Structure formats: structure tokens, C-alpha cells
Structure 1
Amino acid sequence: MWRRLGFLSPAISSSKRQNRIPESLKLVMLFATDAVKDDITASRRPFITFVLGGPGSGKGTQCARIASAFGFAHLSAGDLLREEMSCDSKKGKLIRDIIMEGKIVPSEITVHLIKEAIMSSSADRFLIDGFPRSEENRIAFETIIGVEPNLVLFFDCPEEEMVKRVLGRNQGRIDDNIETIKKRLKVFEMLNLPVINYYSAKGKLYKINATGTVDEIFEKVRHLFGSLRP
């Protein structure tokens, strides 16, 4: 049960031409040249858990409980991007520019932020919340980090329940937000299903029925993570 990156760097013959490099490519180049020097796999082998689930599945709430009860460091890909953007750094400004343009931050960039967070932490167990969101994310992680996750936790929740939860926590917004939520859920299913199927076939996926109260769901999670304790 438990068991490309490459990118083409254009030839630059003048400063004028260099200024025409797309911002997204500049950002990938910046992260690649400022990569973490220490290799994770060379220095240690942390226990890595991917935590997947649609918006409203409760994965963030459960991650906080798992981290507190079992000594995991909780890393959220979204939080890491927001933290980098809040810094007055070249990387943060470039990430902000990409998002402001409505574009998706390249997988390599998110993975390098995750890698830096792992390397700078003294923890030996990590929950990576909301990542990978797609096969491209998965391949980037395994290529850059050099390891697969030890465990993939999937909070399986009916669409109607996720819609109700998201609407409940977004009180004050207009009711037609339900259409936006449903679109997000369809995108999640389309992109995440291949990742879920991939790790299921490798025997690394553990599915949690994410209906019920927070305490009821955590009881299911606690049983799983309790068996991981030394």
C-alpha cells in the first residue's frame, strides 16, 4: 500500500537582445544558477510525504495537526511562493511579475524553493502540502530533488462537500463564486488524477475518506502516521 528539465538558454550576443529574454525564463535561469549547493540525498534522506486533495478537502487543516502530533515540518508550495514574493529580492519580484501576468510559475522554481526549505530545516520528516499539482510538477520534483516521496496522502472528498466547505470559508463573497469553485475542481481533477494514479500504481498512495468532522478525519490520519513512529 505504501510502499526536462531542461530549458533552452538563448544565445545572447548583446545587452539589447538580453533584455528581450522572457521574464519567466530569466527566473528559471536565476534559480538554476543559485541552486542549493548541498545535495539532499548526499547529506540525509528525509521522510517526504506529498499531501494531495482538492480545494476544500481539508488537507491544510489536517497537515497542521499531523505536524503538531508527529513532528513533521509542514511545507506549503503556495506559502513558499508567497513568502518569496514578500521579500524584496530579485526572485520574488520576478515571481510576482509572472503571477501578475496570469501565467503559471515554472515547476522548477517551486521545486527549488521546496528544496531550499528542506535543506534549511533541521526536521527529518516533511509534509509537502498541495504539491505536485500535475505530472510536470512531479517530474520536476523527482529530477531536481533526486528522490521520490515515501508516502502520498490523498484526501478524497466528494465535490459537493468541497464546494460547501469553500463557500463556507469564503463568506461575504457573491454566490456565483460556486462556478469558479467548480472550475477549480475540474482543473484539479484533470491535472492531479495522473499524479494520483502514478503513485497508486507504485503502492505509495494512501487514500483518506475526507468526509466527517475534523476530528473524525484526523482519527483516520492518526492511525496511519502513528505506525510511522520509531
Structure 2
Amino acid sequence: MLGCMRSAFSRTYPLLLSRCKVRATAAVMATERPQVVFVLGGPGAGKGTQCEKIVKEFGFVHLSAGDLLRQERDSGSENGDLIESCMKNGLIVPVEITIALLGKAMERIGAKKFLIDGFPRNEDNLDGWEREMTEDKCDVKFVLFFDCPEDVCIERAIKRAESSGAMARSDDNLESLKKRFRTYTSHTMPIIERYEKKGMVRKVSGVPPPDEVFEEVKKVLKDL
């Protein structure tokens, strides 16, 4: 009888140990996944300015989808012309390009908290993210949405272009900005609404001065 019990235990123990190891590994992976906050709003809503402040105050790493695309365009990449054409015409760059750039940047930096600014911009972006950046790779906490009307956004972006001079972005002109805002309204707002239904949107007005906006942002991130 005792021999039978020992035999059964010897067969069962490795299986139990294996299951425990799998569960422990899964728990570690869950805790080590980087946290992601998507930052969305119209062109000129103040996303970049607020992301700079969040980085200093809360230790996030800021990844701007637009900046990564511009760097890729300027690097002489084979996708450079396509990226430039999309930007000038207010179109959304194919998701495969943007996801690849974001994934490489996150892997290279290896941080635990990321602000991803200007992404996802449409359903295709979101589907691509959910397909490639599965839940075991990162943990999307919520969308930080800067709500700002079109006239304020465009006025700010034009002023940014004028103050930048030779360094102005090629898509910071009135025609491109209007196209970009139309794209944002028709393609990005549905994404925000989709996350809102899940209770995953934190809306902050982007109209007040930057320091006032940041006071509201801090309340959101302290909850996180």
C-alpha cells in the first residue's frame, strides 16, 4: 500500500511541479509586461507638450508615432516616399510600417511604462496592434484623450510651423492640417469611442494653457 502511494506521488509530483512553474512564469510575465498609455487628440491638441511633462513627472518613455515615421522617412528607407506622401495628404501610413517601428523602439528601450502618442489612428491601426502586440507583450491601461476643437488645433500648429522656420514639419501647413483633422475626425474619433465603451478613455481638455492642462493630467496618472 505504501509502495503504491509512493509510486503515485512520484508520478504526480513532477506534473504538479511543472504546473506550478508554468503558473509562476505566467505571473512573472504578467507583472513584467510594459504598461502602455495611448495618447490621442487632433493635430495641435498639445499631445507632445503634455507627453514631455509626463515623462519628467512620472518616468514614462514617450514614443511618438509621427516622430518615428519622420525619422524613418529621413533615414533613406525604402518606405520614405510612401510615408512622406501619406503625411502631406493627411493620410494614415500603412499599419505594418508603424507597428514595426513602435515594436522595435519598445524592444530597444526596454522600459516598463510607455506613452504612445498619435496611435492608433484608425481601425486598421488598432487591429494591427491587437494582432502583433498581444496581451502577453504589453498592457494597455487606457487612452489619454486631449479634446480640442479644430480651429484651436490648426492655429497652434500653424504657429508651431512659423516659429520652427526651416525646421518646420512638411505637414504643418494649412492645407495638410485641414486634411489631417478630417482624417482624425473620421478615423481616429471612432477608435476613441470604441475605447470609451470599454471605460478606457481619460478625457482632458486641451484648450487651457499647458500648465493648467497638466494639472488635470496629473490627476489621471496618479490614479494609474
Shorter-chain TM-score range:
0.7 to 0.9
Equivalent residue for 1:150, pick from 137, 141, 147:
141
- How far does residue 84 in structure 1 lie from its aligned partner after superposition? 3.0
Say if 1:42 and 1:86 are closer, same or farther in 2 by CA, change over 3 A: farther
> Stretches of 4+ moved more than 6 A in 1?
none
Equivalent residue for 1:97, pick from 69, 81, 100:
81
Say if 1:184 and 1:83 are closer, same or farther in 2 by CA, change over 3 A: closer
- Quote the Cα distance in structure 2 between the aligned partners of 1:190 and 1:95: 25
Determine whether 1:227 maps to 2:214: no
Percent of aligned positions that are identical: 45
Q: Tell me how large the CA RMSD over aligned residues is.
A: 2.3
- Show the counterpart of 1:111: 99
Contact 2:34 2:114 (C-alpha < 8 Å) held by counterparts: yes
Matched residue type, 2:77: K
- How far does residue 100 in structure 1 lie from its aligned partner after superposition? 4.9
- Show the counterpart of 1:197: 193
CA deviations 1:112-161 (Å, max 9, x no partner) are 21111111223200000001111100110111010362110100012221
- Show the counterpart of 1:216: 212
- Show the counterpart of 2:202: 206
- Quote the Cα distance in structure 1 between the aligned partners of 2:57 and 2:144: 16
Equivalent residue for 1:60, pick from 35, 45, 48:
48
- How far does residue 46 in structure 1 lie from its aligned partner after superposition? 0.8
Equivalent residue for 2:177, pick from 145, 156, 181:
181
Aligned residues: 181
CA deviations 1:165-194 (Å, max 9, x no partner) are 122222279xxx545433321211001111
Matched residue type, 1:61: T
Contact 2:64 2:117 (C-alpha < 8 Å) held by counterparts: yes
Say if 1:95 and 1:195 are closer, same or farther in 2 by CA, change over 3 A: same
Contact 1:98 1:104 (C-alpha < 8 Å) held by counterparts: no
Matched residue type, 2:38: F
Determine whether 1:160 maps to 2:151: yes
Q: TM-score, normalization: structure 2? A: 0.73
SS in 2 for 1:150: strand
- Show the counterpart of 1:5: none
- Show the counterpart of 1:11: none
Say if 1:143 and 1:65 are closer, same or farther in 2 by CA, change over 3 A: same
Listed as ranges, the gaps of 5+ residues in structure 2 are 1-28
Say if 1:192 and 1:215 are closer, same or farther in 2 by CA, change over 3 A: same
Larger radius of gyration: 2
